[in-house]
Structure 1
Amino acid sequence: MVLFTLCATFLCTLALPLALFLAALKLWEVYCVSRRDLSCEKPLPPGSMGLPFLGETLQLVLQRYKFLKMKVRKYGHIYKTHLFGNPTVRIMGAENVKHILLGEHKLVSVQWPASVRAILGAGCLSSLHDSEHKHRKRVILKAFSREALENYIPVMGEEIRAGVRRWLESGSCVLVYPEMKRLMFGIAMRILLGFEPTHTTRQTQQQLIEAFEEMIRNLFSLPIDVPFSGLYRGLKARNVIHAKIEENIRKKVARREPTAQFKDALQLLIEHSEQSEQPLRLQELKESATELLFGGHETTASTATSLVTFLALHPAVLQKVREELQEQGLLNSDATEDKQITIELLEQLKYTGSVIKETLRLSPPVPGGFRVVLKTFVLNGYQIPKGWNVIYSICDTHDVATNFSKKDEFNPDRFMEGCSEKDSCRFSYIPFGGGSRSCVGKEFAKILLKIFTVELVRGCDWELLNGPPTMKTNPTVYPVDNLPTKFTPFPYKM
């Protein structure tokens, strides 16, 4: 009798719940697979769908790098999963990515996870479609024209030189990643949103940085808006950002004429709204400004941090950059202060540009992009069903590219003229995405990163105090130790 009671207790407390859990997993898998398109004879990609309702979102959030690498080893370049509340196919590789990026509006359409859409809003560029997207993109591109970029260069140089001076004057350890975010945020505030560099603006900048940190931490979260949830905290931080931007919008509208020598992106959006038959609402303006501020500083801060890392780890590359600056008259202490940096001069810095390209190849700041399938199509022998999400991976596409020799090595020469790797398949190298959804601010980013590299290498020597860092993604790539670094003055000698 006692043995029977123990067995019954065991069944009730352990075996039965385990059996029910396994049955729930099986039913979940069957349910997800049943969402395949029965009119298509091709099978779904291999993969697993994770836990009921949660899918594999928690594994992705908690173990991103290990989780994704395990998936690739197990399933290859196309596999199914369940992320952020939706059945999803994750893809990589030049030919597969090309199919997705060139299939915009025909096979797929942009659709970020519900948490991203809720926080950034439906009125931002990345959430718009068709004619609305094209029209808004044309307006924003005015802020990134060659003429506009030329006007931004002095502001970029001023802010970066001030940042370099701070690092040198600290005399001790500098946490590079937080400093880069502070630096790039200040540049984005001035150039993209037109905030003037006053004491009050510095206070506003710090408040906005803290709010952005909270918003970004919770950008990719479960779509559950209850107190203390990730989405709740993200929305609360977003509201702080919107309030500050609204103040600036109202000042611009009341002033009517901008005081700066150039029109920032927000000013252009306001003018477009006033002249349009369908003016942008205040909420849409705030969402667009938030997206510009996010895109204008988060990705460049990530890449600038990676540049500091790679140049420190490869002194021969750093030396070649300095030799190029010397050739252009940018490394002479007598001429440096007087020589004006222009777009034409930056275009002459071919090797410096190749260093930035190689940094973006090995450490792209944005890991990938999200799409939703408009109609079922076949990719590499697998059906990609209508209604499913597709994630194309930028970092994994770079990793599996076959056209780059010794692809784990940091070698900027692969992007120099005359190298066969330079003009290989363009979908093997996609740090800014591709197709009609390629990054609207990529030329802005390229110029900003070139000026950053120039001012850094002609002003400093530096040492990574912890050696090569471990990298993490959330949502952009960053070093887990914040890259503690010691900066010392560079003496302008070759």
Structure 2
Amino acid sequence: MGFSALVASALCTFLLPLLLFLAAVKLWDLYCVSGRDPSCPLPLPPGTMGLPFFGETLQMVLQRRKFLQMKRKKYGFIYKTHLFGRPTVRVMGAENVRHILLGEHRLVSVQWPASVRTILGSGCLSNLHNGQHKHRKKVIMRAFSRDALQHYVPVIQEEVSACLERWLGAAEPCLLVYPEVKRLMFRIAMRILLGFQPRQANPDGEQQLVEAFEEMIRNLFSLPIDVPFSGLYRELKESATELLFGGHETTASAATSLVAFLGLHHDVLQKVRKELQVKGLLCSHNQEKQLDMEVLEQLKYTGCVIKETLRLSPPVPGGFRIALKTLELNGYQIPKGWNVIYSICDTHDVADLFTNKDEFNPDRFMSPSPEDSSRFSFIPFGGGLRSCVGKEFAKVLLKIFTVELARSCDWQLLNGPPTMKTGPIVYPVDNLPTKFIGFSGQI
């Protein structure tokens, strides 16, 4: 082969693909810029759109919190990106989030990624709009009235007590908290939300249900491509229920974070126990005392511990909307049809209302309650018309878990402070290995 042929071959092999790639990147940039609404004088938010078609989805899925922190540091409280096949603006900060959440049905509407809509189904509450959403939410709210919650308390207490008893009687000195708590919350959700009682005699069958459901959760946020080995290909839609997602996965995340924070802050745990002692809930002869809504509502400090846990480690990092029309936000335009993600975790991180933000300090919620003066600085359950329908159920469940844990167990985190990851729910990378022993009853 002559020299000219070699040059031509090299050009075809290396240069042509490079030129095609550069051309594709340029066309992608032009496509992203053309999304701007020329009728609005404001510019698009700062940011980058990533690779053609894929956008920045891969970086976000692989790096999660690191990727989001880098974006926030570089671009501030509002920036553009391209996620899950759609141009997207990510928003944080109390005022920005308030504008989005209070603009439901007027400025924005719910718009979860295609993978979420496909797996959960178009008829689930999170994907309904206007009158349909209002009617369905009203029906579901009956299951979370105060009277209904009172009926759930004995069931929750029974399951939590039995679970902690197994932890304390386990032969292995090291217990992985996160999978154990997920199994506990799954049992509670199955009994209360679906009216199904898992059989104690068939733990393998129960574990198969848990694993099937968790496979669905792992694939909620995946690339919108229906091909073998992608999340959308797996036939799990028939077992997917929105109530199980809200009542199992998110509460498991929060309960695991409670174990972690109380394990790292023994002084806080002791203050919880002092509150229980004042209410007559700590003495050994009252160890099995039945709880009820009236007693739970009196445990103010315990409630603040849960709030502080949700502030520092909200299970759900944010929510998805779509702009119904071009809207103006903080000096930028968000074009009609673009996705809008409001960030819960970042909004908590940047809230001016909280001092010493990285410190675990439940007393900050004692009085006055911060969310009363700026309710969009603290939004673990979202806000507006689409705030979490089961938030009161979650609060009761987490409070019972905290009470039973504090009056039954002492524990040690074997790996120290955990590294948290989002996928899509927040969880500890190491599953929180912990050693539990019985609580002596003395404080």
Whether these two folds match at TM > 0.5 is: yes
Letter in 2 for 1:191: I
1:79 aligned counterpart, secondary structure: strand
Letter in 2 for 1:137: K
Q: Name the residue aligned to 1:98.
A: 98
Correspondence for 2:397 among 448, 460, 466 = 448
Q: Name the residue aligned to 2:207.
A: 206
49-58 or 430-439, which deviates more: 49-58
Q: Does the 8 A contact of 1:94 with 1:428 survive in 2? A: yes
Letter in 2 for 1:428: S
Q: How far does residue 198 in structure 1 lie from its aligned partner after superposition?
A: 3.3
Q: How far does residue 100 in structure 1 lie from its aligned partner after superposition?
A: 0.2
Q: Name the residue aligned to 1:319.
A: 270
Q: How far does residue 7 in structure 1 lie from its aligned partner after superposition?
A: 5.0
Q: Name the residue aligned to 2:431.
A: 482
- d(CA) in 2 for partners of 1:309 and 1:199? 27
Q: Name the residue aligned to 1:260.
A: none
Matches within 5 A, 1:76-87: 76-87=76-87
**Compared with structure 1, are the counterparts of its residues 75 and 215 closer, same or farther at alpha carbon in structure 2 (3 Å cutoff)?**
same
1:372 aligned counterpart, secondary structure: strand
Q: Name the residue aligned to 2:162.
A: 162
2:286 aligned counterpart, secondary structure: coil
1:183 aligned counterpart, secondary structure: helix
Q: How far does residue 326 in structure 1 lie from its aligned partner after superposition?
A: 0.6
Q: Does the 8 A contact of 2:198 with 2:206 survive in 1? A: no
Correspondence for 1:416 among 333, 347, 366 = 366
- d(CA) in 2 for partners of 1:374 and 1:312? 46
Q: How far does residue 16 in structure 1 lie from its aligned partner after superposition?
A: 3.2
Letter in 2 for 1:436: L
Q: How far does residue 3 in structure 1 lie from its aligned partner after superposition?
A: 6.5
Q: What is the alpha-carbon root mean square deviation over aligned residues?
A: 1.6
Q: Name the residue aligned to 2:252.
A: 301
Letter in 2 for 1:195: F
Matches within 5 A, 1:318-397: 318-337=269-288, 339-397=289-347
26-35 or 87-96, which deviates more: 26-35
58-67 or 182-191, which deviates more: 58-67
Letter in 1 for 2:217: I
Q: How far does residue 294 in structure 1 lie from its aligned partner after superposition?
A: 1.1
1:334 aligned counterpart, secondary structure: helix
- d(CA) in 2 for partners of 1:12 and 1:306? 55
Q: How far does residue 227 in structure 1 lie from its aligned partner after superposition?
A: 2.1
Matches within 5 A, 1:99-118: 99-118=99-118
Q: Does the 8 A contact of 1:109 with 1:372 survive in 2? A: yes
Q: How far does residue 199 in structure 1 lie from its aligned partner after superposition?
A: 4.8
- Which TM-score applies when normalising by structure 1? 0.87
Q: Provide, for residues 107-151 of structure 1, a one-character-per-residue CA deviation record: whole Å limited to 9, x for no partner.
A: 000010000000000110000111111111011000000000000
- d(CA) in 2 for partners of 1:102 and 1:201? 47
Q: Does the 8 A contact of 1:414 with 1:422 survive in 2? A: no
Letter in 1 for 2:402: T
- d(CA) in 2 for partners of 1:33 and 1:295? 37
Letter in 2 for 1:157: Q
- d(CA) in 2 for partners of 1:434 and 1:108? 14
Q: How far does residue 38 in structure 1 lie from its aligned partner after superposition?
A: 1.4
- d(CA) in 1 for partners of 2:145 and 2:396? 12
Q: Does the 8 A contact of 2:421 with 2:428 survive in 1? A: yes
Q: How far does residue 197 in structure 1 lie from its aligned partner after superposition?
A: 4.4
Letter in 2 for 1:367: P
438-447 or 50-59, which deviates more: 50-59
Q: How far does residue 93 in structure 1 lie from its aligned partner after superposition?
A: 0.5
Q: How far does residue 5 in structure 1 lie from its aligned partner after superposition?
A: 5.6
- d(CA) in 2 for partners of 1:128 and 1:208? 27
2:284 aligned counterpart, secondary structure: coil
**Compared with structure 1, are the counterparts of its residues 418 and 134 closer, same or farther at alpha carbon in structure 2 (3 Å cutoff)?**
closer
Matches within 5 A, 1:36-435: 36-171=36-171, 172-199=173-200, 204-233=205-234, 236-239=235-238, 241=239, 290-337=241-288, 339-418=289-368, 421=370, 423-435=372-384
Q: Does the 8 A contact of 1:195 with 1:201 survive in 2? A: no
- d(CA) in 1 for partners of 2:230 and 2:219? 9
Q: How far does residue 58 in structure 1 lie from its aligned partner after superposition?
A: 0.8
Q: Name the residue aligned to 1:24.
A: 24
Q: Does the 8 A contact of 1:324 with 1:351 survive in 2? A: yes
1:355 aligned counterpart, secondary structure: helix
- d(CA) in 2 for partners of 1:18 and 1:81? 24
Q: Does the 8 A contact of 1:303 with 1:359 survive in 2? A: yes
Letter in 2 for 1:35: G
2:440 is aligned with 1:491: yes
Q: Provide, for residues 393-436 of structure 1, a one-character-per-residue CA deviation record: whole Å limited to 9, x for no partner.
A: 000000111110000110000000247x4644110100000000
1:181 aligned counterpart, secondary structure: helix
439-448 or 199-208, which deviates more: 199-208
Q: How far does residue 200 in structure 1 lie from its aligned partner after superposition?
A: 7.2
- d(CA) in 2 for partners of 1:86 and 1:198? 44
Unaligned 5+ segments in structure 2 are none
- d(CA) in 2 for partners of 1:114 and 1:197? 32
- Which TM-score applies when normalising by structure 2? 0.96
Q: Provide, for residues 254-282 of structure 1, a one-character-per-residue CA deviation record: whole Å limited to 9, x for no partner.
A: xxxxxxxxxxxxxxxxxxxxxxxxxxxxx
Aligned residues: 442
- d(CA) in 2 for partners of 1:12 and 1:330? 78
Q: Does the 8 A contact of 1:329 with 1:336 survive in 2? A: no
- d(CA) in 1 for partners of 2:409 and 2:437? 6
201-210 or 178-187, which deviates more: 201-210
1:31 aligned counterpart, secondary structure: helix
**Compared with structure 1, are the counterparts of its residues 197 and 212 closer, same or farther at alpha carbon in structure 2 (3 Å cutoff)?**
closer
1:170 aligned counterpart, secondary structure: coil
Q: Name the residue aligned to 1:470.
A: 419
- d(CA) in 2 for partners of 1:210 and 1:197? 14
Letter in 1 for 2:256: T
**Compared with structure 1, are the counterparts of its residues 174 and 99 closer, same or farther at alpha carbon in structure 2 (3 Å cutoff)?**
same
Q: Name the residue aligned to 1:457.
A: 406
2:358 aligned counterpart, secondary structure: coil
- d(CA) in 2 for partners of 1:71 and 1:85? 19
